[in-house]
Amino acid sequence: MSNYSYILLIPLLPLLTFLVLGIFGRKYFNTTAGFIGSASLLASTILSFIAAKQYFFVDGKLNGVYQKIIAFKYTWLSFSPNVSIDMGIIIDPISVMMLIVVTSVSLMVHVFSLGYMKGEERFATYYAFLSLFTFSMLGLILSVNIFQVYIFWELVGASSFLLIGYYFSKPSAVAAAKKAFIVTRFADLGFLIGILILGFYGGTLDIGLLIERLTATQSAEFINMTTASFLGASMLTWGLSLIFIGGAGKSAMFPLHIWLPDAMEGPTPVSALIHAATMVVAGVYLVARLFPIFSMDPSSLSLVTYIGAFSAFFAAVIACTQTDIKRVLAYSTMSQIGYMMFALGISKVGGEEGLGYMASLFHLFTHAFFKSLLFLGAGAVIHMVHSNEMKDMGGLRKLMPITHIAFLIACLAIAGIPPFAGFFSKEEILTAAFHSNKLIYGVALFTAALTSFYMFRLYFSIFWSKESTLQHHHGEGTWSMKLPLLILAACAVLAGFVPFSNFITSDGKALETHIDLIFSIAPVGLTLIAISIAAYLYKKENDKPSKLAAQFGILYQAAFKKFYVDELYLFITKKIIFPFIGHPIAWADKNIVDGFMLLLGKTTAKISFKIKGIQSGKVQNYTLYFFGGILILSILFIYTWK
Amino acid sequence: MMINNFFLLLRQELVITAIIFILLFIKLGKDKSNESLLHIINVLLFINLLIGFFPMMEGGLFNSMFATNKLVVLEKNILNFAFWIISLQSYSWLKTHKHVIEFYILLLSSLLGMFFLLSSDHLLMFYVGLEMSTIPLAAAANFDLTKRQSSEAALKLIISSAFSSSLLLLGISFLYGTTGTLILSDIGSHLSYNPLQIFAFILFISGFAFKISAVPFHLWTADVYEGAPIAVTAFLSVLSKSAVLFAFISILYKAFASLSSMWYLVLIVLSMATIVIGNLFALRQENMKRFLAFSSIAQVGFILIGISGSSHQGSSSLIYFILIYVFSNLAAFGVLSLVSALTGKESIQDFKGFYKNNPTLSWVLTIALFSLAGVPPTAGFFGKLFLLMAGAAKGNYWIIAIAALNMVISFYYYLRVVKAIFMDENDQPIEKLSIPIYPKIAMFICIAGIILTGFLTVVYDYINSLSISL
């Protein structure tokens, strides 16, 4: 095995940056923090690419199969010889792919923020948080132990809380950060219980060992876990479903998606990093990491499939009606992650059957680039217009030519127009769906059409529609903002040509895939139709959209109000949980628990006062007590003496 | 060959003896300023600490009255380390003291006694070591020459320890009479369940309980701790206690292993009484030294729970905990001794608003108190966790529950101090203190120890690999 120990540096560099900027940043580096953060992340990115080259092209393969390599492992807490919490680094195709995605998108965001966040008072703090987030995310994807995953999972949650609430003087940002934290917290509880179930039955927390034990149908652990059942489902289903709930919380799957649109209160580059390319795909990554185990349990896989497909469709419908551009992008992210989820759900392990797995991760890969491009583009637009609302925009194509082109490329990519990146990955997903589940295929196809509709609705409203009333008061932004847009645009064009199936498949062997032109006719055709409708409705300012909205009436209103899911949550918490569960518990806590504690405290104080006399300061008394002690000991010994 | 063995086995004892002689010669020579003396002494003590880490050998001397092995060397190193830290910390106090050399000679003799105690494989050697480690301390406790309380402390210490020693000696003679041997490793095989032996054993345990100040043999502790100079208090509460606990566990596990079912109950009763009473008294203390005295009594209760596990883990968790206890307690004493030497203030009231002018010292004290209380992620948490786990191995979960409940009570009095430091208003907070370099070094080492010992599993693994089992 060759040496991968340098990979340790990839997460440690951002950690170091965080510590330096976090402790000394505001005093010493408030203006240079951006360069320090970007430079250290550049080093991490370069190391990631070196690692990818070494793994994929030099020594990752053994007999044509990509190996799992444990580059580093340190036993942190060992509970028993078998169960321990380790900190380590795993190198396998998905972790290396994620390394590339996380470091390069994060680098783009770091560079973009140089311009976007310039002049912020807490500039260094912002970069410190970004570094902390990057570190946590990298630690998450490199984890060898499922508890290590959980630790970093929480760190990711905490650092995203800090980033979403960055503008803490704004009440809506604080509320959004709290909402994101609380909603994902509930999901994480599921995750933790899932981990404990898997750990209990699998007898280990090590991911590799868990997979090995729970995929062998003959092993004692597997038999135990499938035969033990609770409320009609086997413990394996329970464990995996709970873990999936954790993933669904982070990945904003229905019905745990409500935090994502609100989280757009954070600075826009943060949304590009967290809500496009990295944190929200953590759920997908988690399912993919444990996929061999998931594949043993059809019921939890079908849960993944249907939740994924429904979220994809549901979010796409809402996205068609939103007017805040970041919210449109947020729902579009949710919809695309739904794609990745159901692609995993319909997959199996090995060969052609494993197409869905590969397609899902391929889509994760391409989506990271074009979605962060969309967010950064939106950031540039917001920077220019100082508003998130579509109605304040329009006709920006002349004012911001580079942003315009980049945004167009990203829209084409997400719509799935060949030869842009999204086409290839979406095509694989649709193929996989077509071969395994026709219903899912139908939903996916319709969602694809909706996707191109709302994306081009966004595009036309921002860059065409009416003439801009803005003056050329400042240009398109600094080069530090334009450069990431250009690089990501290039990626959005080219990422689809990566022969992905050679590298990442469900069983590590290369998979032959080909694009079937006949098969592509339906999705591409539908997409083109949807784009034309969007162009017809939104290219020039007119009253057709509002008429259309009026015609859909209730349906439009419902979608506009995000199908009242938020209101439902509020109703349940405010009208049911608080009065019927919360208040009685609060009462009991105040009167019974606290009362008991108060009593305990008072009694303790009283006794403490009473026995004060023993400590008289007289040595002769002490001797007396000494003899008393010997007497007590003697009595005890007599009692035990047999 | 013989000479070689002699030097290798007695290495640490010889170095201390050498230092004592060097100090005597310096004393005989012409007067030096206190500062240069303290430089010399601290360097010498550091060398003494380093020599403990040189390669060693295992074996016995003097007809196996003296025995040493890796575990004993580790224990001696911990004691050496603690002594070095105390010496660094008392710099501010000793700088103005008239009798620096005498002070060090007394404490070093006591340390030498502890080393013989740890290495003893013979009850006479054991007794001599124990006495040698106690008697100089009574003189040292009197070192605040102008304070009446200090003399009172010294007198109380010598009287009560003479009393306990006599009972211990009585126990030893009964043991000798009934088993016919004084060699510790032989006693085990001669034990029968003869009442006289059991009584001897009770006296034996009581003697130990006095030294580690387990309730109800603890009453001298608070008075002595309060009266003695802080350096001596730190020495008493950290070094003496640790040394006696090391000796206690090795004798219990080696010589009296066959009685384990009997001493299990005794230890549990002692530990419960110690934790509860220690906590109850600590709740109301106003003097910081007294407060730490009672808190250290409660800590001993936890240690006894670990010992009661009578397992390999029991012994390794004890040594691990003591290492952490050395770090945390000395960090706290370090701050106290600095504040007391520079301002003369020792009560909790005086620490109100301490954070305002002395943020670094406040954080050091806070981290130390957190570690003593056992708040994660400080090392103190892991130390207590392992002790309780060792105790729980016997299956008596109610004991663990009581201990855990008492941990909560102890949070109250530790956090009371933290509250005073950070939150309470004070019109005249302690002014900004300048910290000399030696105490500063000591503090940072302690804080690093508190943070790192919990996370570096190698420490525990190393101790675990050396520990004895029943």
The predicted structure's pLDDT at residue A468 = 65
Question: Could you tell me if A626 lies within 8 Å of chain B, comparing CB atoms?
Answer: yes
| Chain A residues lying within 8 Å of B203, measured CB to CB | 630
The whole-number average pLDDT for the span A176-194 is 85
Question: Could you tell me if A634 lies within 8 Å of chain B, comparing CB atoms?
Answer: yes
Contact B265 A636 (CB under 8 A): yes
Question: Could you tell me if A632 lies within 8 Å of chain B, comparing CB atoms?
Answer: yes
The predicted structure's pLDDT at residue B129 = 92
How far, in Å, CA of B42 to CA of B84, rounded? 7
Question: Could you tell me if A387 lies within 8 Å of chain B, comparing CB atoms?
Answer: no
How far, in Å, CA of A124 to CA of A28, rounded? 9
**Mean pLDDT of all residues belonging to chain A:** 82
Please list, in sequence order, all residues whose beta carbon lies within 8 angstroms of the beta carbon of residue A545, skipping any fewer than 6 positions away.
Answer: A537, A538
> How far is C-alpha A370 from the geometric centre of its chain's CA atoms?
16
Please list, in sequence order, all residues whose beta carbon lies within 8 angstroms of the beta carbon of residue A34, skipping any fewer than 6 positions away.
Answer: A110, A113, A114, A117, A123, A127
Q: Lowest mean pLDDT: which of A521-530, A593-602, B163-172? A: A593-602
The nearest CA of chain B is from the CA of A599 a distance in Å of: 13
Evaluate if residue A141 carries a pLDDT over 60. Answer: yes
ipTM: 0.76
Please give the full DSSP string across A463-528, using - where no structure is assigned. Answer: HSSSPP----SS-S--HHHHHHHHHHHHHHHHGGGS-HHHH--TTSB-------HHHHHHHHHHHH
A474 pLDDT band, cuts 50/70/90, is low
Query: What percent of chain B has pLDDT above 70?
Result: 99
The nearest CA of chain A is from the CA of B3 a distance in Å of: 44
The predicted structure's pLDDT at residue A478 = 75
Please give the full DSSP string across B416-439, using - where no structure is assigned. Answer: HHHHHHHT---SSPPPPPPPPHHH
Backbone angles phi, psi at A373, to 5 degrees: -60, -45
Evaluate if residue B469 carries a pLDDT over 60. Answer: no
The model's pLDDT over B36-74, given as tens digits with 9 standing for 90+, comes to 888 888 888 888 888 888 777 777 777 777 888 888 888
Cα angle A183-A187-A191, degrees, rounded to a multiple of 5: 155
Q: Lowest mean pLDDT: which of A255-264, A592-601, B10-19, B202-211? A: A592-601
The predicted structure's pLDDT at residue A613 = 66
Contact B223 A76 (CB under 8 A): no
Which tokens belong to B220? 């001298």
The predicted structure's pLDDT at residue B136 = 92
* DSSP 8-state assignment for residue A427: H
On whether the CB atoms of residues A497 and A386 are closer than 8 A, the answer is no
Contact A612 B284 (CB under 8 A): yes
Question: Could you tell me if A623 lies within 8 Å of chain B, comparing CB atoms?
Answer: yes
Tokens 């035990």 belong to which residue? Answer: A640
How far, in Å, CA of A21 to CA of A26, rounded? 7
How far, in Å, CA of B292 to CA of A246, rounded? 45
B10 pLDDT band, cuts 50/70/90, is confident
Q: Which residue of A has its CA nearest to B284?
A: A608
> Helix count (H) and strand count (E) of chain B?
22, 2
Q: Which of A85, A593, A627, A630 is most worth mutating to test chain B (most B CB atoms within 10 A of its CB)?
A: A630
Q: Which of B219, B286, B382, B452 is most worth mutating to test chain A (most A CB atoms within 10 A of its CB)?
A: B219
Q: Which residue of A has its CA nearest to B278?
A: A608
Evaluate if residue A1 carries a pLDDT over 70. Answer: no
Rounded to two decimals, the pTM is 0.67
Cis amide linkage into residue A255, ω under 30° from 0: yes
Burial of A620 (0-12, 13-18, 19+ CB in 10 A): exposed
On whether the CB atoms of residues B345 and B339 are closer than 8 A, the answer is yes
Q: Tell which wins on pLDDT, A95 or A513.
A: A95
The model's pLDDT over A293-330, given as tens digits with 9 standing for 90+, comes to 888 888 888 889 999 999 988 888 888 888 888 888 88
The predicted structure's pLDDT at residue A470 = 63
The whole-number average pLDDT for the span A208-220 is 82
Q: Which residue of A has its CA nearest to B281?
A: A608
CB atoms < 10 A from the CB of B25, how many?
9
Burial of A591 (0-12, 13-18, 19+ CB in 10 A): exposed
Query: What percent of chain A has pLDDT above 90?
Result: 3
Q: Tell which wins on pLDDT, A244 or A348.
A: A244
Contact B265 A615 (CB under 8 A): no
| Chain A residues lying within 8 Å of B274, measured CB to CB | none
The nearest CA of chain A is from the CA of B206 a distance in Å of: 6
Q: Lowest mean pLDDT: which of A254-258, A441-445, A549-553, B338-342? A: A549-553
Q: Lowest mean pLDDT: which of A348-352, A423-427, A559-563, B318-322? A: A559-563
- Among the partner-chain residues A608, A625, A639, the one whose CB lies closest to the CB of B280 is A608
The nearest CA of chain B is from the CA of A598 a distance in Å of: 12
* DSSP 8-state assignment for residue A206: B
Among residues B110, B101, B10, B97, which one has the least CA distance to residue B52? B10
The model's pLDDT over B135-146, given as tens digits with 9 standing for 90+, comes to 999 999 888 888
Query: What percent of chain A has pLDDT above 70?
Result: 95
Note the residue count of chain B.
Answer: 470
Tokens 């003479």 belong to which residue? Answer: B162
Q: Compute CA distances A30 → A25, A168, B287, whole Å.
A: 6, 19, 45
| Chain A residues lying within 8 Å of B222, measured CB to CB | 615
Contact B206 A612 (CB under 8 A): no
Contact B219 A75 (CB under 8 A): no
CB atoms < 10 A from the CB of B468, how many?
15
Please list, in sequence order, all residues whose beta carbon lies within 8 angstroms of the beta carbon of residue A4, skipping any fewer than 6 positions away.
Answer: A51, A54, A55, A69, A71, A72, A89, A91
A471 pLDDT band, cuts 50/70/90, is low
| Chain A residues lying within 8 Å of B217, measured CB to CB | 625-626, 629
The predicted structure's pLDDT at residue A90 = 86
The nearest CA of chain A is from the CA of B86 a distance in Å of: 27
The predicted structure's pLDDT at residue B112 = 93
- Among the partner-chain residues B155, B163, B206, the one whose CB lies closest to the CB of A633 is B206
Tokens 């806070």 belong to which residue? Answer: B366
Q: Compute CA distances B450 → B236, B241, B376, whole Å.
A: 20, 19, 11
* DSSP 8-state assignment for residue B30: S
On whether the CB atoms of residues A319 and A454 are closer than 8 A, the answer is yes
How far, in Å, CA of B280 to CA of B283, rounded? 5
Q: Which range scores top for mean pLDDT: A119-133, A595-609, A613-627? A: A119-133
- Total domains in chain B come to 1
Question: Could you tell me if A603 lies within 8 Å of chain B, comparing CB atoms?
Answer: no
Which tokens belong to A505? 């498949």
> How far is C-alpha A564 from the geometric centre of its chain's CA atoms?
24
The model's pLDDT over B290-308, given as tens digits with 9 standing for 90+, comes to 888 888 888 999 999 888 8
Among residues A261, A284, A316, which one has the least CA distance to residue A443? A316
- Among the partner-chain residues A605, A615, A640, the one whose CB lies closest to the CB of B283 is A605
Tokens 């760190």 belong to which residue? Answer: A155
Which tokens belong to A495? 């990422």
Backbone angles phi, psi at A18, to 5 degrees: -60, -45
The predicted structure's pLDDT at residue B132 = 92
Q: Which residue of A has its CA nearest to B389?
A: A79
Please list, in sequence order, all residues whose beta carbon lies within 8 angstroms of the beta carbon of residue A49, skipping any fewer than 6 positions away.
Answer: A100
| Chain A residues lying within 8 Å of B287, measured CB to CB | none
Evaluate if residue A211 carries a pLDDT over 50. Answer: yes
On whether the CB atoms of residues A395 and A337 are closer than 8 A, the answer is no
Tokens 């062997």 belong to which residue? Answer: A509
**Residue B195 domain boundaries:** 2-466
How far, in Å, CA of B337 to CA of B94, rounded? 11
- Among the partner-chain residues B205, B261, B457, the one whose CB lies closest to the CB of A633 is B205
Please list, in sequence order, all residues whose beta carbon lies within 8 angstroms of the beta carbon of residue B430, skipping any fewer than 6 positions away.
Answer: B339, B343, B345, B350, B351, B353, B354, B357, B358
The model's pLDDT over B172-193, given as tens digits with 9 standing for 90+, comes to 998 888 888 888 888 878 887 7
Q: Lowest mean pLDDT: which of A382-391, B110-119, B226-235? A: A382-391
Question: Could you tell me if A9 lies within 8 Å of chain B, comparing CB atoms?
Answer: no
The model's pLDDT over B418-441, given as tens digits with 9 standing for 90+, comes to 888 888 787 777 888 888 888 889
Evaluate if residue A558 carries a pLDDT over 90. Answer: no
A76-95 residues touching B, CB cutoff 8 A: 76-78
| Contacts by residues B40-46 (CB-CB < 8 Å, ≥ 24 positions apart) | B41/B87, B41/B100, B41/B104, B42/B84, B42/B87, B42/B88, B42/B91, B42/B438, B44/B19, B45/B19, B45/B80, B45/B83, B45/B84, B45/B87, B46/B84
Q: Which residue of B has its CA nearest to A601?
A: B409
Contact A615 B281 (CB under 8 A): yes
**Mean pLDDT of all residues belonging to chain B:** 85
The nearest CA of chain A is from the CA of B91 a distance in Å of: 31
Beta bridge partners of A206: A145
Among residues B53, B101, B255, which one has the least CA distance to residue B171? B255
How far, in Å, CA of B86 to CA of B272, rounded? 30
Whole-number CA gyration radius for chain A = 28
Evaluate if residue B109 carries a pLDDT over 90. Answer: yes
